[in-house]
């Protein structure tokens, strides 16, 4: 759901965009830290915020880290 948000921030498109791991952090909503495969050897880490259900908002891309590998640990950022 945040692929288009990411692509507009980096001004590029991704043929591959597959989540391979994630962690959550409960706040006033939920922060999701997601490792996403964008090519055969390249990965990115996304921080996505999903607000509480009564706010009726979709997930939003908060920040991201590029240049990651499959073996890079998924950490809070």
Q: What is the pLDDT of residue 76?
A: 87
| Residue 64: how many other CB atoms lie within 10 Å | 19
Q: What is the pLDDT of residue 54?
A: 87
Could you read off the pLDDT of 3-61 as tens digits, one per residue?
999 999 999 888 899 999 999 999 989 999 999 999 888 999 999 999 988 888 889 99
Pairing assessment for the beta strands 43-50 and 29-37 based on DSSP bridges? antiparallel
From the candidate CATH numbers 2.60.120.200, 3.10.105.10, 3.40.630.30, 3.10.450.10, the one assigned to the domain spanning 1-68: 3.10.450.10
Could you give the 3-state DSSP secondary structure of residue 65?
A: strand
The predicted model scores a pTM of 0.87
List the chain domain ranges. 1-68
CA atoms within 13 A on the CB side of 11: 0
1 pLDDT more than 90: no
């Amino acid at each position: 759901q945040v692929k288009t948000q990411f692509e507009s921030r980096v001004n590029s498109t991704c043929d591959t965009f597959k989540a391979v791991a994630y962690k959550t952090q409960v706040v006033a909503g939920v922060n999701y830290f997601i490792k996403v495969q964008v090519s055969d050897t390249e990965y990115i880490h996304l921080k996505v915020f999903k607000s509480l259900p009564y706010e009726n908002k979709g997930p939003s891309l908060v920040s991201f880290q590029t240049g990651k590998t499959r073996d890079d640990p998924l950490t809070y950022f």
